[in-house]
Structure formats: C-alpha cells, structure tokens
Amino acid sequence: MELDQSRTPLFSAIKMIEAKGITPFDVPGHKRGKGLKELKEHLGEQVFEMDINAMVELDNIFNPSGVIKEAEELAADLYGAEKSFFLVNGTTSGLQTMIMTLCKTGKKIILPRNVHRSITAGLILSGAVPIYLKPEYNNQLGIAMGVTPENVEKTIKENPETEVLLLTNPTYYGVTSNIKKIIEIAHSHGLYVIVDQAHGSHFRFHKDLPLCALEAGADMIAMSLHKTGGSLTQSSLLMVNNKSIDADIVRTYLNLIQTTSPSHILLSSIDVARKQLALEGNKLLEQVLEVSRYAREKINNLESFYAFGPDLLGNAGVFAFDESKLGIYVKELGLTGYEVRDILYYEYNIQIEMADLYNILCIISLGDDYKSIDRLINALEDIKEKHCKAAYDQFFEKELIIPEVIVSPRDAFYSRKKVVNLEDSIGEISGESVMAYPPGIPIIAPGERITEEIIEYINLLKEQNSSMQGPVDPLLNQIRVLGF
C-alpha cells in the first residue's frame, strides 16, 4: 500500500513542540537563541525554536521507532526502496556506511577511478582493496565520462573473488553510464552493487532525466538530497534495496560515523523536501529542464563557448545525461575554467559550482529561473568582450591518471610515514590523498605509487590556483610518504 506522501511526521512534530513554549534546561546551550543574540537577530527566532534536543516526541535517529521512523518509511516508499536512512553527515556518511557494510578488510571492491574522496575514506575505514575501472575520457573537454559495461565485465572476470561493485550515477558533469546493464552484469556474477548518486536525488521524478539507480536494480545507494532535491546542506539519504542486506547491520555501521547530536533543522528539511518532490517534483523539474535548455541554447549561440549536454550521448561512456548540469567549455576564450570562475565571482558576483582547466560547471536546480540564467549569460558575453585572449594549447591532453596501488588505503593510512619534498617523491608510496576540490577526486591516494606524471599534474593545478586538499602541507610543497 502506498503511503500518504503529503505527510511530514518529523516536521509536524517539531512544530507541535514549538507551540508548547517549553522552558529548556537541556542542550543546545543557546536556549532558543537567548544565548546567541547576534545570530538570532540575523536569522530570526524560528530557526532557534527548531534547533532542539531529541525529545521523546522527536524520536531517536540511532534507533527510530516514532516520527523519524515514519519519515524514513515515507522516503523509502517514494523512491521504491526496502529501507531508508536519514543522514545529517552528508552523503559522505552514506557512502562510507555502504562500503563498511559490504566490504571487509582485505576484500576487493571494483570502482571507477573518478570517485569522490569520501569513498577513499570508506576504503580506509573498511580495509577494502580498490580495483579501479578506467572511465572513458573526452579529450576535447578534458574530463572523464562514465564506464562501459564491457569494461566492467572484463574487470569482474579478471577479479573473480570480488564481491562488490561501486558505480557513480551521475558524474559531477552529469554523465551516466548504462547502469541497468552494468548492474545486471554484476548481479549475474554474484556481486552487490552500491551507487554514489550524490548528484541524482531528483532522477526519479522526471522522464527526461537519467535512470535512478534504484530503478536499475542497485542494492544500496546514497543521495545528496541537499544538492538537487531542495533540503539543507549536509542532509542526505541512504537507501537499501535488497532484502538480503540486514538493515539493522547497516544502521549499526551508520551509527559509528553519524553524529550523536543530529540537527532537527536538517532532519526536518529532508522530511519537507521529500514531500515536495513527491507532490510537485515533476512540475518543478519540468521548469528546471526548461531553464537548462534555454541556457544551453543561448550560451551555444555565443562565440567561444560550448555548453555541452545531451549532444554527448552515444560517445563512449555516455549513456544518459542530466541536463540540469550546465557544463561550459571555455578554452576557446584563451582562459582556463579557473580564470573564468574567478572573473564571474569577483567582477559579476556569480558563484559557480566548480571549474577545471577547460570548463566551468553551473548547477541548475529547483530555485533557478530565467532571471538568474540571463545574469549568467550576460556575464559570459561580457567576459568574451573584455577578457578573450588567443586560444591556448591544451594544458594536459592525457587521460585520467590511474596510479598503481601498492598497499591498501587502510594499511597506508596507518603506516609510519616521512615527509619529503613533492619534487623528490617520485617512486615513493603516498601516505595521504591529494585532490582538487571540488570535485574531490583523488589525484593520488594513500598506498599508491607517485609518478613524475602525477607531480606534473599537481604542479599544473597549483599554478592555476586550484583548491588543493588532502595533504598536511596546505601549500603542497611537501607530501607524506610511507617510510621511516
């Protein structure tokens, strides 16, 4: 029986408690904002009224039996999953929980190289050994695409003892692989399939969007509802879609890494965003797609810009495309994506999602309209007139680097280390991760061999003022490697 998706059990319970006017002698210490007056004056009273402790009526996220349980059941029902878990530590905690649940120490997991840094952390926590899939690569755009079913099956056959396959659906730029076929292949070989669908919480609600991994048969998925579904930052969903996976065990692993002080503001935002998607998702996403298509058409009529999208379909590793991801190729301007990002921010007061050497990425979501898109288009047109240079040669034509894994990420993480100059680290085994953020895909991860090619790429990104994260040395002049 379908559940009543117009209900918001948790949010309704919070509003009921607000109406009581309770005198608090518990945490949080701001006591409904009286202890933090400056912020209360800025935010207003309501947000502090919602920032309350886990009272009896609000259930307990660690072992829910009341309104949180009801809210999670509504989310599972909406997405067609067996079980749903609310996350307030972001999709990071969901990805790590999935890996810890299904991957034990020393066991192999097959996954694309272009995965998020949180998955590397999940490998460290679980002790699993990565077997990396090489994604397809678009040389013009300089970005990785999806993985092919043929490559997945080949890798599974080469590693018959593997028990888990991890997929990304979609990539940061909106590309999705043929996940239905890939999942069928993996299941035929006895593998569980877990999916990072951080950027795809909206997929289920419009026919023109890529397939949700749950509909494709994935066993577990994690989704950032805050990225594309309308909830507040940090709020996400973990879904189990296989009766053979013990939901109680999943909860046990989740409770190891999820905060003991979950924000009811974040939790209620999941509840309300779920209701909105259920009741209005198709209509809202129709508007998102209309605006996205308008943006692509206008930008592609501007000289020196290329807003890529569904025209990539049929290329290797591109089975479907999320049109709400507005990737714009800017190399013909003679500027890098990083330079265009900075110009948009400092000269036009426009914040984009991320940049790389050749592209910028804008996220079009439920809150966008033609007015905001026109601001972006006008700014790009102005940038072309004021900043365009002679087109430069490609900085880095090589495909995504897949380093050699020497020891497991967990063993490398806990091993003795020494600090060496980055330029002197060729041949060493990395003891830490290095990544440009966003998107947070590791260039090198713990346990992998450092090569001259990797150092060249890191230095290139440093020259472009890319935000580099992971190493202890924030300037990345030095790196920790295994040794004494």
Say whether 116 sits in a helix, a strand or coil.
coil
Tell how many helices (H) and how many strands (E) occur in the chain.
15, 20
Domain with CATH 3.90.1150.150 in the chain: 282-387
Of 98, 129, 86, 91, the closest CA to residue 219 belongs to 98
- Angle in degrees, 0-180, between the axes of helices 117-126 and 90-102, rounded to the nearest 10: 40
Residue with token string 């990002």: 341
Task: Give the pLDDT confidence score for residue 394 in this predicted structure.
Answer: 52
Residue with token string 């495309």: 321
* Contact of 213 with 194, CB cutoff 8 Å: no
Task: Give the pLDDT confidence score for residue 399 in this predicted structure.
Answer: 65
Spans in the chain with pLDDT lower than 50? none
Architecture of domain 9-277: 3-Layer(aba) Sandwich (3.40)
Architecture of domain 409-482: Alpha-Beta Complex (3.90)
Task: Give the pLDDT confidence score for residue 53 in this predicted structure.
Answer: 86
* Integer Cα distance of 344 and 328 in angstroms: 13
Instruction: Give the 3-state secondary structure of 268-333.
Output: HHHHHHHHHHHHHHHHHHHHHHHHHHHHHHHHHCCCCCEEECHHHCCCCCCCEECCCEEEEECHHH
* Integer Cα distance of 328 and 347 in angstroms: 18
* Contact of 193 with 219, CB cutoff 8 Å: yes
* Contact of 65 with 9, CB cutoff 8 Å: no
Domain with CATH 3.40.640.10 in the chain: 9-277
Handedness of CA 405, 407, 409, 414 (dihedral sign): negative
Task: Give the pLDDT confidence score for residue 398 in this predicted structure.
Answer: 55
Q: Distance of alpha carbon 276 from its chain centroid, rounded?
A: 21
Say whether 476 sits in a helix, a strand or coil.
coil
* Contact of 329 with 335, CB cutoff 8 Å: no
End-to-end CA distance of the chain: 62
Cβ contacts of residue 342 below 8 Å, gap of 6+?
A: 465
Question: Which tokens is 450 given?
Answer: 């450092």
Of 441, 147, 176, the closest CA to residue 325 belongs to 176
Task: Give the pLDDT confidence score for residue 400 in this predicted structure.
Answer: 74
* Integer Cα distance of 256 and 38 in angstroms: 35
Domain with CATH 3.90.100.10 in the chain: 409-482
* Contact of 288 with 295, CB cutoff 8 Å: no
Give the class (CATH, top level) of 282-387: alpha beta
Question: Which tokens is 366 given?
Answer: 């439920």
* Contact of 438 with 341, CB cutoff 8 Å: no
